[in-house]
Amino acid sequence: MDLKTFEQKLEDYARLLIQVGVNLRAGQVLYIESPIETIEFTRLVVKQAYRAGARYVQVAWQDEVSTRLRFDEAEEATFDYYPTWVASSMEQLAESGGAVLLLDGEDPNLYDGVDPAKLSASRRAAAAARQTYLGYVRSNYLNWCIVNVPTRAWADAAYPELPGESRVSALWEAIFSMSRIGAVDPVEAWREHIEALKRRADLLNAKRYRKLHYQAPGTDLTVELHPDHIWAGGGQLTQAGFPFVANMPTEEVYTMPLRTGTNGVVAGTKPFLLNGQIVDRFSLTFKEGRVTDFAAEVGHETLKRFLESDEGARYLGEVALVRFPDLEYRQAVLQHRHRRKCLLPFCLRQRVSDQYDQRYGLLERRTAPQRRKRQPVSRGFYDRVA
């Protein structure tokens, strides 16, 4: 029986994001991106950040109406522009030892009817301008975390069968369930969960499996693993050795496939967002690692543009295994539709920032600049995870 009030759950969720998600340390600057619709919850997160010793918290409010207006009204020629001063500010944040928390509640239908060429141009421009910052993120130069927060548009898409006034609260409850907010101490519950994921990864690393075979309705896929693959899951470490959880919730352990070792067909069972647009009822056919054919009843053009955007987009960048611990969690996941990524995600290889190893499909990351010296800080309760 859940004895917590809704307000208590919000407080616990905010505390969880700061203490486990970004694992904010005393003296750090925290940058938060948040939908303007979730302002009350975001203020709880800011409060928890200052209680954890944040030096400064900057909130960048996101307005989807303004975002959509650009795609509806701006000239097509302007979509190759991304402000360099925005990219530079994020680089400075990372280089000075800051942390990033992204509160995600994007409307799954935000870009309905938008010209895919505009979307592609916009995202290419952003990727090019943010190349250095994204390198910091990929190499765990800083602690960062992406989490879900409900918005009206997302709740309407996820729960059309519920009365309008009940949808946002239903989505909150699904997020609470998946985030273990119902536990007496969600922070301690996440410590245990991360350790459990680490044990599963250690078990798989000891087994040294050579191949995975995925079977499901419409799916018969074999994935050979890289000879030197390593299973990981749960928390990550910054380059300085501080733990954080990049994606919450997380239930997976994951590893790297062999670039030429994927064969067969995989069919999607849930809709997902790709470059801001929904793709649903899709299938991908692989031969020697490469997507050779595809189909999608919804979002066909979006998927086509993605696969044609870069040669690396046709190859798997990661494979994952997920265990559902109990029926309650499974039901919550099923309710949490439109938001979960595929368990066979593609990694778009950006020519502006990555070099592709043709033999194994490894990314050669550029070395991040040496960190500036800072005063030693305590890792707190998270020491065991590291």
Q: What is the pLDDT of residue 60?
A: 97
CA dist 372 and 385 (Å) reads 25
| Closest listed residue to residue 256, CA positions, set 145, 137, 351, 360 | 360
Structurally, how many domains does the chain consist of? 1
Residue 324, pLDDT > 70, answer no
Residue 243, pLDDT > 90, answer yes
Q: What is the pLDDT of residue 169?
A: 94
Q: Which residue has the higher pLDDT, 363 or 293?
A: 293
Q: Once rounded to an integer, what is the mean pLDDT over residues 276-302?
A: 90
pLDDT band at 233 (very low <50, low <70, confident <90, very high): confident
Query: What are the backbone dihedrals phi and psi of residue 162, each rounded to the nearest 5 degrees, phi first?
Result: -90, 155
Q: What is the mean pLDDT of the chain?
A: 83
Record the pTM. 0.81
Residue 373 lies in a domain: no
Rounded-to-10 torsion of CA 214, 220, 222, 223 = -60
- CATH number for the domain that contains residue 275: 3.40.1830.10
pLDDT band at 379 (very low <50, low <70, confident <90, very high): very low
| pLDDT cut 90: percent of the chain above it | 62
Q: Once rounded to an integer, what is the mean pLDDT over residues 259-272?
A: 89
CA dist 83 and 307 (Å) reads 27
Q: Which residue has the higher pLDDT, 332 or 264?
A: 264
Which of 150-154, 208-212, 379-383 comes out lowest in average pLDDT? 379-383
Q: Tell me the sheet residues that pair with 221.
A: 214, 264
Residue 372 lies in a domain: no
Residue 370 lies in a domain: no
Residue 30, pLDDT > 80, answer yes
Burial-class residue 73 by CB neighbours within 10 Å (0-12, 13-18, 19+). Answer: exposed
State the pairing for strand pair 252-255/211-216: unpaired
Local structure of residue 269 (DSSP, 8 states): S
Which of 82-96, 155-169, 315-329, 345-359 comes out lowest in average pLDDT? 345-359
Q: What is the pLDDT of residue 352?
A: 27
Residue 371 lies in a domain: no
Q: What is the pLDDT of residue 268?
A: 86
Burial-class residue 5 by CB neighbours within 10 Å (0-12, 13-18, 19+). Answer: exposed
Rounded-to-10 torsion of CA 118, 120, 126, 129 = -110
Beta strands in 150-231 (DSSP E): 211-216, 219-225
Residue 96, pLDDT > 80, answer yes
Q: What is the pLDDT of residue 378?
A: 29
Domain range enclosing 294: 6-363+379-384
CA dist 99 and 131 (Å) reads 18
232-233: strand order across its sheet: 232-233, 252-255, 319-322
Q: What is the pLDDT of residue 313?
A: 86
Residue 269 lies in a domain: yes
Residue 97 lies in a domain: yes
Residue 368 lies in a domain: no
Residue 148 lies in a domain: yes
Q: What is the pLDDT of residue 136?
A: 95
pLDDT band at 335 (very low <50, low <70, confident <90, very high): very low
pLDDT tens for each residue of 50-89:
999 999 999 999 999 999 999 999 999 999 999 999 999 9
What six digits make up the tokens of 172?
């909150």
Q: Once rounded to an integer, what is the mean pLDDT over residues 178-199?
A: 93
pLDDT band at 333 (very low <50, low <70, confident <90, very high): very low
Q: Tell me the sheet residues that pair with 290.
A: 287, 315
